[in-house]
Amino acid sequence: MNWNRLESIDQLVEIKEKSLEKPVLIFKHSTRCSISSMVWDRLKRNWKTEDFDRVDPFFLDLIAHRDISNSISKEFDVYHESPQIILIKDGKATYDTSHMGINYNDIMKRL
């Protein structure tokens, strides 16, 4: 999958701006967690090329960038979890869930 890599706190400004035109999805992944790896694999298997037309997806390596995860929690007023997805529309988090609650079909319905 060709998701955008979230590697700088400055990208959060870009994400908020992008979300004014098209929803943005952030996937927070812990490379040390088997549940996170399983959820990420399941999401990748279901993701379709045409989904990029509906949402701008970002991938955050939580272990490498914990500071960004902390900033996401503050900026979008969501409790930190991992793995976690956060859907952002019009500059605000409109949906978030974690662990086994992360479901491709639920994400697509919320776009």
What is the tens place of the pLDDT at every residue in 51-105? 999 999 999 999 999 999 999 999 999 999 999 999 999 999 999 999 999 999 9
pLDDT of res. 2? 86
Stated pTM of the model: 0.95
CA-closest candidate to residue 108, choices 92, 90, 95, 93: 95
Q: Does domain 4-109 sit in CATH 3.40.30.10?
A: yes
Q: Higher model confidence: residue 36 or residue 1? A: 36
Is there a contact between 60 and 69 (Cβ–Cβ < 8 Å)? Answer: yes
Q: What is the mean pLDDT of the chain?
A: 95
Alpha-carbon distance of 84 to 60, in angstroms, equals: 10
